[in-house]
Structure 1
Amino acid sequence: MSENTPTPSSPRPPKQSRTGLKSTGTRKAASKSNRSRAREFALQALYQHLVGGNDAHAIDAFTRDLAGFHKADSVHYDALLHGCIANAAEMDLLITPLLDRKMAEISPIEHATMWIGVYEFQHCLDVPWRVVLNECIELAKEFGGTDGHKYVNAVLNGLAPKLRAVEVAADKAAGAGAA
């Protein structure tokens, strides 16, 4: 008998409740908005582009066939996937000065997450800058390395005042007035 197999004298301990999380520790799909799901699928697609150099249309067709895609905001997904790929060079020029290493040394997950953040800062003005930042941090926590979310946070927090100057200034002014 293996050591993990319960015996009559050693019953398996009850599972602890982890409300809102799957057994893997990731968020349950039910708690995600359609846009959050779109960002997740876009991240997976951008990863394929960064790692495999795959064509955007082939990636798009593959991604749309994945389980759960029907629950995502497909318009937002399209904007992120195709917008990030089309504007990759310009976005990398914005990101690179805030890096402490070469872009080639950045994890593809963190790289793609930063693209999503920069793209939304620039083109999705209906999404508040703090929401963009928080969503990207969550993506990096869920899919990236151990502390990748801290890196994504630092870079996007550094870009927010440049890319959303009026909105960030208004938030800071409102925060200073409340103190």
Structure 2
Amino acid sequence: MATTQGVQNRRRSREIALQVLYSLAQGNVSYDQTFDMYVHEAPLVQAYALKLIQGVQAHQDAILAEVGAHTENWGIDRVAVVDRVILSIAVFEMKYGKPPIKTAIAANEAVELAKEFGGAESGSFVNGVLRGVGGAGD
């Protein structure tokens, strides 16, 4: 069973990954400049954030194809950047994580990020897409 500290560390790692990947998607700064802002974080937090960032980047095409297949009537390019990044992190954790994160957990974490960082409808949108990606069996 996950400890409270472990859950908080993972949540903080996801926040960092979101912020770094969002900055990179916007073309604002380089990878090193962006990640260097988080050197004060605990090593475990940094390590998982880095795993998420590198994993999303390594599997970006497949992840975006998966997300795009579940965004009814929306092309992936029409999805808000912050929502697209949140979905990418969750799909990476569900499909490529070692070990994979269960859909319900990944979706819950993604919805929380969407509520905090996204628009008014982001939480519902992210939840719906991830339900499609994860299928009904998880």
Q: TM-score range by the shorter chain?
A: 0.7 to 0.9
Query: Following superposition, which runs of at least 4 residues in structure 1 exceed 3 angstroms of deviation?
Result: none
Counterpart selection for 1:63 from 35, 38, 43: 35
Relative contact order, CA 8 A, sep 6+: which one is greater? 2
Q: Which amino acid aligns with 1:43?
A: L
What's the counterpart of residue 40 of structure 1?
15
Point out the structure with max Rg over C-alpha: 1
Q: Distance in 2 between matches of 1:35 and 1:84?
A: 16
Q: Distance in 2 between matches of 1:96 and 1:127?
A: 20
| Counterpart residue identity of residue 139, structure 1 | L
Identity %: 25
Using the TM superposition, give the Cα deviation of residue 106 of structure 1 relative to its aligned residue in structure 2, in angstroms.
0.8
Q: What is the rounded CA distance, in whole Å, between the counterparts of 2:69 and 2:100 in structure 1? A: 27
Say whether the 8 Å CA contact 1:63–1:69 is kept in structure 2: no
Matches within 5 A, 1:1-179: 33-52=8-27, 58-66=30-38, 69-70=41-42, 73-99=45-71, 100-124=73-97, 125=99, 127-161=101-135, 168=138
* TM-score normalised per structure 2: 0.83
Q: Which of the two has greater helix per residue?
A: 2
- Structure 2: segments with no counterpart, 5+ residues: none
* TM-score, L = length of structure 1: 0.65
